[in-house]
Amino acid sequence: MKRLVTVLLLIVLSTAVGGQDDHGPCKQKVLDPRPHSVSILEFGAVGDGKTLNTVAFQNAVFYAKSFADKGGAQLYVPSGKWLSGSFNLTSHLTLFLERGATIIASQDYAHWPAVDPLPSYGRGIDVPGDNGIIDGQGSVWWDLIRTHSLNYSRPHIIELVGSDDIVISNLTLLNSPAWSIHPVYCSNVRIQNITAHAPTEFPYTSGIVPDSSEHVCIDNSNISTGHDAIVLKSGWDQYGVAYGKPTSNVHIRGVYLQSSSGAGLAFGSEMSGGISGITAEQLHIINSTIGIELKTTMGRGGYMRNIFISDTKLENIYLGISMTGFSGSHPDDKYDPNAVPVVGNVTLENVIGANVAIAGNFSGIVDSPFTPIFLSNVTFSTGSESSSSWFCSNVKGVSEEVFPEPCPDLQNTLSNFSSIFSSIQPSYSYVSSA
C-alpha cells in the first residue's frame, strides 16, 4: 500500500545546548548556530490559517539547500498560523518555530500526494522551536478509518527516513493522523522537550516511534495518545528480516506517558529486524490500558533482548506489565510461519504501581519461551488477590521483592541466571555532529 507523504519537521534547541552527560544516546554537545538564516515570510507565506503555504515552504527549503556545504541554514517561522500540505526538509537545515507559531496540516487530500516508502533522506536536520505547534488535524483521517474508506496508510506529522544527526526539541505536536514522530533507518536522533497529544478516544494514534534506528534519545517529554505513547519497532515479518536493520542503543528518560487503548511504553509487535540495548528510566505512566508491553507473534522472527527498565511509576493502569507472543497481524501471506521471535534478557527494576488492576500477563511462545526475565523491587497495589494478579505461560525468570507474589515461573533463583544477567545493562556511545 502506498502512503501519503508526511510533514517532515526536525527540531533543535533554540539556543546552543551546553554541558555533557554520560547517559548514552542522551549525551549532549554544543550545537553551533547556522551561519545563514531566512524567514518563511520572504517566500510569500501568509500566517492567517487560511492561505496554503506549501509552495512557500518548498521554495524556502530549496533555497536553504544551497547553503548545505556552507554550514547550513535556518528557516525561521514567526508567530502565526501557517497552513500547509506536506513538504520535505533537506540536510543541514534548522527549521525554527517561534513561540506562537503553528504549522497546520491541510485537510485536503490533494495536498498529500501518494508516494512510495522512503520519502526523505538527510543529515544534520534540526527543527528547534520556542514552544511552537504543529497540528496534524487528523480528524479527517480518523473518520476514514471509522468508515473503512481509507485508500492509503495515514501520514505522520514528522517522518525521517535514512537520516543522521537529528534533533527535535521544544515543540507541541497535536492531532497526528497516525504517529507524531517516526524516525526510520535513522542514527543519532535526539528528541526532547516534546509534547504530543492526540484524542485518547481514538485508538489508532501513537506518539514517538523509533523504527529500525540506532542511538536514539527520548528525553523530558509528555506523550498522550490513543494507542502506544512510545513504541519501538524494527520491521514487519519477512520484510524486516530481509532488511535486517535493528532498533538499538535507545535511551528513554524523564517522560510522562498516557495511552487509552495501548501501552505507555511498548516494543513491537513489528520487531523482525530486532530490538536490543534499550534503557528506559524515570517513566511516569498514567491512565493507560497497559503500562509496559513487549509484543510479538509467530512469523515475526527477530528478537527483543537486553532491555532495562527502571525507576518507573504506574498510576491507574489496567495491566501493569504485558509480554505476549500472540499479538499482531501479517502484511501478506508470504511470511514464514516458522520464523520464531526470541525474547529475553529483560529487566524491570524499581517499578511502583498504584491502582493497577492486573499486575502482569506473560504469555510466551511454546517453541520460544521468554527467558530470562528479571523483576526487582516491583510493587503494585492491585485490589485483587495475589494469586490472581499474575498470569504466566512459557516464561522463566527471577524475582526479588515483588508484590503481589508473581507466578512460580518467575520465582527461580538468581544463581541460575547470574551469568546471563551480569551483562544485561548495555553500554552506549553517542556523538552528535549536527
Q: What is the pLDDT of residues 77-104, one digit of tens each?
A: 999 999 999 888 888 999 999 999 999 9
Cα–Cα distance for residue pair 34/65, rounded to 1 Å: 12
pLDDT given at position 108 = 87
Tell me, yes or no, whether 421 lies in a domain.
Answer: no
95 and 210 in a common domain: no
pTM of the prediction? 0.89
Torsional sign, CA 206, 390, 303, 306: positive
Residue of 275, 273, 268 whose CA lies nearest to 238:
273
Can the peptide bond before residue 337 be classed as cis, meaning omega within 30 degrees of 0?
Answer: no
Q: What are phi and psi of 69, to 5 degrees?
A: -95, 10
From the list 297, 243, 290, 288, the residue with the least C-alpha distance to 268 is 297
- Scanning 359-417, the segments in alpha helix (DSSP H) are none
Same domain membership, residue 372 and residue 241: yes
Q: Is the residue at 11 inside a domain?
A: no
**Domain carrying residue 242:** 125-416
The domain boundary residue, chosen from 113, 141, 173: 113
Residues 244 and 109 occupy one common structural domain? no
Q: Average of pLDDT values for 308-314?
A: 98
| 277 has pLDDT over 80 | yes
Q: Check whether residue 215 and residue 271 sit in a common domain.
A: yes
CATH of the domain at 293: 2.160.20.10
C-beta atoms surrounding 400 within 10 Å: 12
Domain assignment present for residue 425? The answer is: no
356 in the same domain as 241: yes
Same domain, 102 and 146: no
* Separation of alpha carbons 263 and 203, rounded Å: 11
For residues 270 and 294, the answer to whether their CB atoms sit within 8 Å is: no
Q: Give yes or no: residues 147 and 190 share one domain.
A: yes
In this structure, are strands 3-4 and 114-115 parallel, antiparallel, or unpaired? antiparallel
List Cβ neighbours of 95 (8 Å cut-off, separation of 6 or more): 9, 10, 11, 74, 75, 77, 89, 125, 126, 127, 128
Beta bridge partners of 304: 275, 343
Listed residue (257, 268, 342) closest to 305, CA to CA: 342
CA atoms within 13 A on the CB side of 331: 15
As for how many domains the chain has, the answer is 2
Chain Cα centroid distance, residue 95: 21
Cis, peptide link before residue 113, omega less than 30° from 0? no
pLDDT on residue 393: 97
Confidence label for 237 from pLDDT (cuts 50, 70 and 90) = confident
Residue 14 resides in a domain: no
Question: Residue 68, SS3?
Answer: helix
22 domain residue, yes or no? no
Residue 331 and residue 222 in one domain? yes
Q: What is the pLDDT of residues 120-154, one digit of tens each?
A: 334 566 766 778 999 998 888 888 888 888 777 78
Amino acid symbol at 83:
L
Residue of 254, 123, 266 lying closest to 192 (CA atoms): 254
Q: What percent of the chain has pLDDT over 90?
A: 65
CB distance 158 to 173 below 8 Å? yes
Distance CA 290, CA 4 (A): 30
Question: For residue 366, with 0-12 CB atoms within 10 Å meaning exposed, 13-18 middle and 19 or more buried, which class applies?
Answer: exposed
Grid cell for residue 375: 523483576
Residues 356-381: what's their mean pLDDT?
Answer: 96
User: Domain check: are 149 and 79 in the same one?
Assistant: no
Residue 50 is assigned to a structural domain of this protein = yes
Q: Which three-class secondary structure state does DSSP give residue 66?
A: coil
Give tens-digit pLDDT for 386-417: 445 899 999 999 999 999 999 999 998 777 66
pLDDT greater than 50 at residue 423? no
Contacts of 332 (CB under 8 A, 6+ apart): none
The residue among 73, 91, 113 that closes a domain is 113
Distance CA 174, CA 208 (A): 13
Residue of higher predicted confidence among 235 and 276: 276
